[in-house]
Amino acid sequence: MSWKRLNSVVIPTVWSRFQGKKLTDRTGKKREYWVQDITENHKEEVLNHMVYGFGSEEPMCKYNKAISYQDATKDLRKSWEKVLEQNVGLICLTKDEDGDPQIAAMNCTSVTCKGDQLEHEINSKIVAKIFGTLDFLEAKNDAFERFGIDKYLSAMGVYVLPGFRGDGIAAEVLKAREPLCKALDIKASLSIFTSKYSQAVGNKVGFKDLYSVSYADIAKENPKLYHHNIEEHTKNIELKYICY
């Protein structure tokens, strides 16, 4: 990853604030949330949520039982650690009953530059298959030429903690990419959406398909990228974009 964040863009910056949709049992009011940069004091907790929360629910991880294998969890953690090194990851926070910040969601965003090479340090066959599937879509990515850009915001997963679901958080976290990108002079955001649920949220906030393909068709082209029974959950994997 060759890109470096400008020192002039302060960490943490709060990129958006919003109110949840549901009335809470405790106060009878809607929760107040804010989306900001992931800071050092939150990184370890974010990593744990991504490995064991996201890793148990994201379709490729789920249907390959990735977090059941130590080598796979180590590879996944290392990959997210590398993403967080750029310090452009987003975290959604609220306040707990004592008024202390509490994590509600996260989006492990990073910046991809023209000329960057796809490199993964992988020991697990399961993670190699997952990343091989992601690389299959990345190989179809012509965003640099199509949009006339030299970099874009990419991501490695959005995860909303179970206790905060139904409050519209995933959409708000995705929308918070816009002020982040504008502050960093990034003109577009691209993400691979692997689940029908994340795809629906992406569509809702304005992401459009750059490339969409069924998991079955990927496996036909490369049998090593077959994910057993994944299509009972989600048929297609989609590379989506939004320009700012």
CATH number at residue 79: 3.40.630.30
Q: Specify the pLDDT at position 119.
A: 72
Answer whether residue 130 is part of any domain: yes
Q: Specify the pLDDT at position 23.
A: 86
Range of the domain at 151: 14-243
Q: Specify the pLDDT at position 36.
A: 98
Answer whether residue 8 is part of any domain: no
Answer whether residue 154 is part of any domain: yes
Q: What tens-digit pLDDT sequence spans the chain (244 residues)?
A: 578 998 999 999 999 999 999 888 777 889 999 999 999 999 999 999 999 999 999 999 999 999 999 999 999 999 999 999 999 999 999 999 889 999 999 999 999 999 887 677 899 999 999 999 999 999 988 899 999 999 999 999 999 999 999 999 999 999 999 999 999 999 999 999 999 999 999 999 999 999 999 999 999 999 999 999 999 999 999 999 999 9
Q: Specify the pLDDT at position 28.
A: 83
How many whole angstroms separate alpha carbon 86 and alpha carbon 99?
29
Answer whether residue 43 is part of any domain: yes
DSSP 3-state of 219:
helix
Q: Specify the pLDDT at position 118.
A: 67
User: DSSP of the chain, one letter per residue?
Assistant: ------TTS-SS-EEEEEEEEEEPTTTSSEEEEEEEEPPHHHHHHHHHIIIIIIHHHSHHHHHTTGGGSHHHHHHHHHHHHHHHTTS--EEEEEE-TTS-EEEEEEEEEEEEETT---------HHHHHHHHHHHHHHTT--HHHHHT-SEEEEEEEEEE-GGGTTSSHHHHHHHTHHHHHHHTT--EEEEEE-SHHHHHHHHHTT-EEEEEEEHHHHHHH-GGG--TTGGGT-SEEEEEEEE-
- Give kind and range of the element (H or E) at residue 125: helix 125-138
Q: Specify the pLDDT at position 204.
A: 98
What single-letter DSSP state applies at residue 61?
H
Answer whether residue 168 is part of any domain: yes
Answer whether residue 3 is part of any domain: no
Answer whether residue 4 is part of any domain: no
Q: Specify the pLDDT at position 142.
A: 87
Answer whether residue 6 is part of any domain: no
What's the total number of domains in the chain?
Answer: 1
How many whole angstroms separate alpha carbon 155 and alpha carbon 145?
20
